Amino acid sequence: MLRALPRRRSGFTLVELVVVVLVLGILAAVAAPRVMNTATTAKSNGTRQSLVVIRNAIEYYRSENGAFPPAATFATALKPYLKGPFPAAQIGNLNADVASTTSSPITTPVAGGAGWAYNASTGEFVVNHADGIVW
């Protein structure tokens, strides 16, 4: 009489699955801090780029008009020199009203502040936050 061969099951054992999940967990724990920090770096780089664009617009305005833009109408005076809306600073207190600090003649950035700081007499334009003072 012919005996049927036992059927071999294919698949993964529980131990193999646990090892794979453990290795993936270790990889995620190592990679997660690097991935989470990229959002902060992107905001910082975006703010730096906006700062350069606005400073260039201030210089173009000055070369055409012979003076720096007035603080009271700063954003509207620079509108012809900027493509798109006036950029917002991505660092600092993002819940604060950026428009209120845009035209404010603050010469020294306030730690913990938000938005931009502009001095109409010197043309100095900075980020109104401790993280961006040195830019």
How high does pLDDT run on average in the chain?
Answer: 78
Query: For residue 124, what pLDDT is reported?
Result: 84
Query: For residue 1, what pLDDT is reported?
Result: 60
Reported confidence tier of residue 104, pLDDT bands at 50, 70, 90? very low
Q: Compute the C-alpha angle 15/34/128, nearest 5°.
A: 150
Contact 114, 93 (CB under 8 A): yes
Q: What's the CA gap between 64 and 106, in Å, rounded?
A: 24
Question: Pick the residue with more confidence: 116 or 67?
Answer: 67
Per-residue pLDDT tens over the stretch 23-45? 999 998 888 877 777 777 788 88
Length of the chain: 135
Three-state DSSP class for residue 93? coil
pTM of the model: 0.61
Least confident stretch, 17-31, 58-72, 96-110, 112-126 = 96-110
